[in-house]
Amino acid sequence: MFRFAHLSDPHLPLPDVRMRELLSKRMTGWLSWRYRRRRIHAPDALAAAVTDLRRAAPDHVAVTGDIANISTAAEFRQAAAWLRELGRPEDVTLVPGNHDAYVPVPWATSQGLWGAYMAGDGAAPPASRDDFPLLRRRGCVAFIGLSTALPRAPLIATGEVGAAQLARFEAMMRDLRDLCRVVLIHHPPQIGGASRHKELSDQRAVREAIARVGADLVLHGHMHRTMLGRIESPQGPVPVLGVASTSAHPASKYGAGGYNMIGVERDPDGGWRFDVEVRSIRPDLSGCDTGNRFHLRSPTPAVAA
């Protein structure tokens, strides 16, 4: 069985910020970090989750964004070092979140530092959002990574795939029908996935695209909670799974963070079967326990007449 870990929203501790860096939307984000978020996203909680993940030795790791908070240059450098600790670029697939594009910043000194983790198979690292989706084949799985990360006005945490990326996504998905197609996206695309100021703006178009081309599993972050949703398709409901923040302290308002371990195997009745183990950070931060365990199934492909 192919096993991969899904983690999201680590929101690494905010390094020292220069005053001039705060003369923008960053000021609201900095205040939010200083007075609220730094008590939620704890480095020792994150370390507990990552240690447990390493011990579990998955075949691959998928990260659905929000490594940063307010997109300062120091945050991108810190995140690049954290990614190197997490694993080799070929073993870790990353898509960005809204906090990784908090304000307009030059690509080369921001997400560009994470390029090797966002490069598709045989492709150069993305040079902008225009190079998404990324595609990586690992075992029986095709990971298709979308970028929803765009700078927005203060207090707005919405995201967008955009028509051009969505067209590339549909074309890509059509060529991958023999593999288990796992879509990675920071913002939840299902109906009711997020409130107005946090939602995926073009969620309806994304759902319609998925209904047209199908998908086996959609994984998202952004909400800092384990969430299960669905997207209707002609072949049946596509499961949509959201993961808790990997750094949420067990005493935080979100409860214990962690990551999901997902086993993939062919379903004898057609399609794919997913064994999902929610790994939750222990109260004493000594590692993780299994907080929940359940199975999901992909839509079953129509039998050719």
Q: Which residues contact 58 (CB under 8 A, 6 or more apart)?
A: 3, 4, 5, 261
Read off φ and ψ for residue 157, nearest 5 degrees: -120, 30
Nearer to Fe ion, 19 or 153 (CB): 153
Cβ 65 to Fe ion, closest distance in Å? 7
Which positions from 83 to 102 touch Fe ion by CB under 5 A, shown as an x/- string?
A: --------------xx----
Which positions from 105 to 144 touch Fe ion by CB under 5 A, shown as an x/- string?
A: ----------------------------------------
Cβ 149 to Fe ion, closest distance in Å? 9
Cβ 20 to Fe ion, closest distance in Å? 25
Interacting span for Fe ion (CB under 5 A) from 16-24, 60-68, 133-141, 162-170: 60-68
The two three-digit tokens of residue 231, written as one number: 């997207």
- Type of residue found at 152: R
Among 41, 152, 207, 222, binds Fe ion (CB under 5 A): 222
Residue 115 DSSP SS3: helix
Comparing CA positions, the residue from 144, 159, 153 lying closest to residue 223 is: 159
Comparing CA positions, the residue from 129, 24, 30 lying closest to residue 70 is: 30
The answer to whether 199 contacts Fe ion (rule: CB under 5 A) is: no
Nearer to Fe ion, 110 or 298 (CB): 110
- End-to-end C-alpha distance for the chain, whole angstroms: 30
- For binding to Fe ion (CB under 5 A), which residues are involved? 66, 97-98, 222
